[in-house]
Amino acid sequence: MTASVSIIIPAFNQVEFCRQCLHSLLANTQGNYKLILVDNGSTDGVGELFDSIAGATVVHAPENLGFAKGINLGMQHAEGHALWLNSDTLLPEGWLAVLLDALESDPAIGMVGPRSNNVSGSQQIAGLEFSTLDAINAFARERAAVHAGQLRDVARLVGFCVLIRDTVWQQVGLLDEAFGIGNFEDDDYCIRVLQAGYRLCVAEDAFVFHYGSRTFLGMGIHDDAWRELIARNQAVFEEKWQVQAPERSDQVQAARQRLREAERMLAAGNTIEALRACTEAVAMAPAYEPARNDLGAVLWQLGEQERALEQFKQALRLNPAYGAARQNLLDAAAALGQNETAEAFIASL
């Protein structure tokens, strides 16, 4: 039987986020779909994780090819509609059915994307915080009910999660690999789909959680390196299309920069200013676990012990493999005589 949707997930390292993504996908995805996993030369166990997923088509690349090339490798195995998905997403109950209903509601719709907690542009829903997949499921269910069937035409969809009609990707082709490791290849594809005469739509009743920027951070692409990457690919995009590139903000990268400023403030003895900076970093990217951990560390210095413990716990809920938060929680619990409670919490993750 031909799959109605092929879900393509490229990944380079970040095995814990890949594991969370696949866990949510396998638990919450119904219907006829084909799962295509592209390991971009990972060295931390992603390849082995992908190979362990029963029924998945797994492609192993010898090195990190970037998002566009990784997707294009997966597209060689695609059947039906194609869905491109970042490996640092969490998929709530019924997510694919909602997107599929939106895509198939009008044959003129070429691509559909969901709303999210962490995405540039008009798909963003600001201020969302979740501590469990159950909370994400509950939010997604409510949004699906309140906004059932609502579509919004846009000129741009972000490639962290986008569903593409079968006849569209067959006509428009693959991603442009000139954008290298990533950024603006999805903007480029959107223009190509629009030029082919199709609509791009945001499904207001669809929600997908996105940690954001994890592969880039894991590769050391942040601060100046991030800005250089954006500038380079923006120039490629603008030269190709002779238009101004869309805004490309990234909450996680911005939060990381604020945390570096907090470090300098602490070193200078400005603890209150560091607290403010860490609090702002959490507001920028609530799902970025280093912001939670660093906020907890500053709170501990200020004597806010219980609040500090909660921040360390929240960091571990987001990423159970995050060693700094684990050690901070254990150290804080030992100081407070709460060793057993902390160990029980870690064991529950």
Q: What tens digit of pLDDT does each residue of 36-92 get?
A: 999 999 999 999 999 999 999 999 999 999 999 999 999 999 999 999 999 999 999
End-of-domain residue from the set 241, 261, 281: 241
CB 130 within 8 A of CB 287: yes
Tell me which amino acid residue 59 is. Answer: V
CB 112 within 8 A of CB 207: no
End-of-domain residue from the set 221, 241, 261: 241
Residue 158 is predicted with a pLDDT of: 97
d(CA 154, CA 287): 26
Same structural domain, 149 and 40: yes
**Residue count of the chain:** 349
In the predicted model, residues of the chain with pLDDT beneath 70 are 1-3
Same structural domain, 200 and 286: no
d(CA 338, CA 217): 33
Same structural domain, 114 and 261: no
Q: What is the pTM of this model?
A: 0.94
Residue 2 is predicted with a pLDDT of: 65
Q: Is 246 domain-assigned?
A: no
CB 81 within 8 A of CB 165: yes
pLDDT in tens, 77-113: 999 999 999 999 999 999 999 999 999 999 999 999 9
Q: Is 73 domain-assigned?
A: yes
Structural domain harbouring 283: 251-348
Number of domains into which the chain is organized: 2
Helical (H) or strand (E) element with 35: strand 33-40
